[in-house]
Structure 1
Amino acid sequence: MASLLAQLQKAQFQLENTVVRAPEDGYVSTVGLRPGTMSTALGMIPLMTFVPVEGAASREYVAAFRQNALQRLHKGEPAELMFPAIPGTVFRGEVADVLPAIGESQFQGQGKLLTTDALNTHGRALVVLKVTDPRFAEYALPQGATLEAAVYSDHLKELSLIRKILIRMKSWENYIYLDH
């Protein structure tokens, strides 16, 4: 009898843990979960892709910059963002954060010696940019939309006018696309 009660308690515990709870407000965009799918606490492949709603409302985007610019990328510096989906328009923004690590710094032991192939990549610094331009609220872009950005520091400030002209020219070029 005790064995049956233990099995029942174990089954009830497992049933309670089949509920998938969202960590915050959002939605599931891709579901790989079907009746009979086996999932474990240490699953190697996610069964769902969760997209938080807050991210869409935060107006933050990530841009990758060459490492040469790392010493000149600081929180609060002014930026301009251009989206191919919104041709002819450049938006004001600012640096919200500079991520403290580059993917190439990650090392995962694999039981074999490293080769020089690992040294051939030149990782880029990821910078979080926040759109501060009120005009941006008029547009609906999905998370992950492509953008081009420029951050303006005090380094060679005289040349920033050239960059501002170039980003606007690039934005105007987005009126012309030949994929239809």
Structure 2
Amino acid sequence: MDLLIILIYSGFCVLIFKLFRIPLNKWSVPTAILGGIALLGTMILLMNFNHPYGKFSKEVYAVVPVVPPVKGIVQTVEVKPNIPLKQGDILFTIDPKPYQLKVDELEATLMEAKQSAMQLGSQLEFAQAKVKQALAERDRTRTAYNRYRKGSKNNAAAFARQTVDDSRQMYLAAQANADAAQADLQRVTFAHESNIDGVNTQVVELQKKLESARYDLERTVVRAPSDGIATQIALKPGIMAVPLPLSPAMVFIPKQERVFAGSFWQNSLGMMKPGFETEMILDAVPGHVFKGEVISVLPAMSEGQYQASGQLLSANQISRHGRAIALIKVTEEDLEQYQLPLGVQGKMVIYSDQFTHVAVMRKVLLRMLGWLNYVFPVK
């Protein structure tokens, strides 16, 4: 761009010398050269600093990698490349049979658990009755044992030693049965009282497992996350889809506002503020200037970043020169009429509120670069 200014001035000087027949001598030529250096140098410095020029500019957009949520064989691919989609439209489907079988199995297990939970009340009553029966039997045998034992101490002939031992064993057996019945009652009581919001815990656990299985079954149908398009589709039926973040099945481009990013020298940061007017030329649209405004200036530059790792920060990384990145929104409504693909590139200029009269020269030069795009894009 600076070369264009010098060429314009040189052509202007040649025209003046020819038109007014100014002789080429030791006074006229140095005057034209020194005057040009002073004039153009001042104008270029003011223009470059106050109205920064982004030689490298490009449209930026976000993409969504579509990762299969569940593992399985791709059954169908419903989406067509580069066709606009609505949120919820089907992209592709995965064989649902393994997940349907899992749902059916859990539904049967849940039904069995519900029936068992309903029977816990009857089991509790039965266990309580068994405890009463066992305690009554224990008390009866204990009474008999005590009677035989006392009679034996009194040397009663009617109570032989064997009879006392038998009654004692019957009492101990009855006591063991009573303990077992009480333990079983405690078990049934715990099972009956193990509830979450009035629902048996085993039933709740199976309900959650069934809900998870149904969710996996639903996710065998992969849908568009938002309005947008899917492009460069290589997914075909029969491919094994695996839920690995590093291996997406396809790329989805959501519908979004078109934003352009420009790279600028850091000395221009003071003249790059949100709301400043911008102009941009695109290689794909020669001779046309798109107007817009600055949305924001990114608060960080990648050249200065580092992460926790086993390596020290290198001096080579510090020596890398970073550029400031500004995000630009094109305000012209005719951008869509050109049917430009996402990611087009060009050049842009930011016009600050300082030395606005110098901005005229920047506008002229930008348009001249736009005309050169008819021949070849200049970088």
Q: Could you say which TM-score interval applies, normalised by the shorter chain?
A: 0.7 to 0.9
Residue in structure 2 matched with residue 17 of structure 1 by the alignment? 219
* Stretch of structure 1 that moved more, 43-52 or 63-72: 43-52
For residues 131 and 90 of structure 1, the distance between their equivalents in structure 2, rounded to whole angstroms, comes to 10
Q: C-alpha root-mean-square deviation of aligned residues, in Å?
A: 2.7
Cα deviation digits, residues 7-59 of structure 1 (max 9, x gap):
x957655443344343321112234655213223xx23443322122x3xx34
Residue in structure 2 matched with residue 38 of structure 1 by the alignment? 242
Candidates 347, 350, 365, aligned match of 1:148: 347
- State the Cα distance separating 1:170 from its structure 2 match: 0.6
Residue in structure 2 matched with residue 139 of structure 1 by the alignment? 338
Query: Percent sequence identity over matched residues?
Result: 38
Residue in structure 1 matched with residue 24 of structure 2 by the alignment? none
1:122 aligns with 2:321: yes
For residues 221 and 303 of structure 2, the distance between their equivalents in structure 1, rounded to whole angstroms, comes to 36
Structure with greater helix share of residues: 2
Candidates 49, 69, 79, aligned match of 2:251: 49
For residues 259 and 360 of structure 2, the distance between their equivalents in structure 1, rounded to whole angstroms, comes to 24
Q: Which amino acid in the other structure matches residue 79 of structure 1?
A: T
- State the Cα distance separating 1:122 from its structure 2 match: 2.1
* Stretch of structure 1 that moved more, 64-73 or 127-136: 127-136
Q: Report the CA distance shift for 1:110/1:46 in structure 2 as closer, same or farther (over 3 A).
A: farther
1:92 aligns with 2:291: yes
Q: Which amino acid in the other structure matches residue 47 of structure 1?
A: A
For residues 155 and 116 of structure 1, the distance between their equivalents in structure 2, rounded to whole angstroms, comes to 37
Cα deviation digits, residues 136-179 of structure 1 (max 9, x gap):
3432211111121000002343432221111111100001039x
| Structure 2 contact 291–330 (Cα < 8 Å) conserved | yes
- Structure number with bigger Rg: 2
Q: Which has the higher contact order (CA 8 A, sep 6+)?
A: 2
How many equivalent residue pairs? 170
Cα deviation digits, residues 110-141 of structure 1 (max 9, x gap):
32222112113222222221112344343221
Q: Report the CA distance shift for 1:33/1:12 in structure 2 as closer, same or farther (over 3 A).
A: farther
Which residues of structure 1 form unaligned runs of 5+? Answer: none
Which residues of structure 2 form unaligned runs of 5+? Answer: 1-104, 110-208
SS in 1 for 2:295: strand
Candidates 253, 257, 262, aligned match of 1:63: 262
